[in-house]
Every structure is written in structure tokens, then in C-alpha cells.
Amino acid sequence: MHANAATRGAGTEVPPVNGCFLDRLLLIAADHGRPAVDAVGRTALAAAHGVHGDGFALSTVLAVAADLKLNAQHARLDWVTLPSVVAHLPALLIFRDGATAILDGLELGGGDGPSQVLLRDEGHGHAPLALGREDLALFWAGDVIVPHPA
């Protein structure tokens, strides 16, 4: 299930990740019971990892997750194997264009994979965005950062 960019064939590397990953990892860490990080702590974390702007390597994303004590790993999954992360949600999806989203849940149904994924709408009080297989496939190639907090 787990893979990294070095073990994949040409053309399947994780794209450079947008800087929005930092705030999403902070939200994920809080959901996994990690202490809240205030604005000063966020600024220090960003400075420690050079997170300013966009275009970060997977190793930077994983280093930030490690500093947040998420013990996260990168996995390249497909729709059928996506339910394997349900015990570790929320998790971070990385899209083909480097954008990220928080995967909060899966609606499990019979058959191959979930019936829908539930992505966090980071607006105030909004319901999650529910996407089916075809909709998610338009922008997700399978990259997910899976937290395994101790």
C-alpha cells in the first residue's frame, strides 16, 4: 500500500504540493488529538520547513507531519483500496495539481470501494463535499498522507 516517489515509474511522481497543506495538516493534527498550534507556532513551523508560497516536495509535507507528531506516511491508493485508511481519518489528499484537501470520511457501500468520499469544506458550518469515483478521479491520482498517531 505504501510507496514513495522514488519507487514509482516515470510520470507518476507526487506533484509539488501547494503551501495550503500546512494549515490542513494543523487541522488534521488537532482532529487526531495533538495540541493546538497558535499563530506563533504556525509561523515557526512554516519557517523551520521553508513553507512560504507553493511547490513543496513530498518530503517537506512528511517532515511537517512528523513535527506535528502525526507519524504520517504517503500512500498511493486507488478507489478500491481507499477504505484501508478509514481508521486513520482525517487524512490529506494530494491532487494532481498539487492542491490538497482533508479526507474526513468515506461512505462505504457494497462493491468496489466506497460509494463516496467526504472532503472537508473548510467554510464555517458547511457540510462535507461528497464526491463519487468519477468526480474524484478528475483531479486525484491516488496520493494520500495517512496519519498514524501513537
DSSP string, 36-103: P--HHHHHHHHHHHT-SSS-B-HHHHHHHHHHTT---EEEE--TTTGGGGGGG-SEEEE-TTS-EEEE
Task: With 0.95 as the threshold, say if the pTM is over it.
Answer: no
Range of the domain at 60: 5-146
pLDDT at 11 over 60: no
In tens, the pLDDT along 86-123 reads: 999 999 999 999 999 999 999 987 778 999 999 999 87
> Could you give the percent of the chain with pLDDT greater than 70?
92
* 3-state secondary structure (DSSP) of residue 31: helix
In tens, the pLDDT along 15-55 reads: 999 999 999 999 999 999 999 999 999 999 999 999 999 99
Length in residues, the chain: 150
Grid coordinates representing 129 are 463535499
How many structural domains does the chain have?
Answer: 1
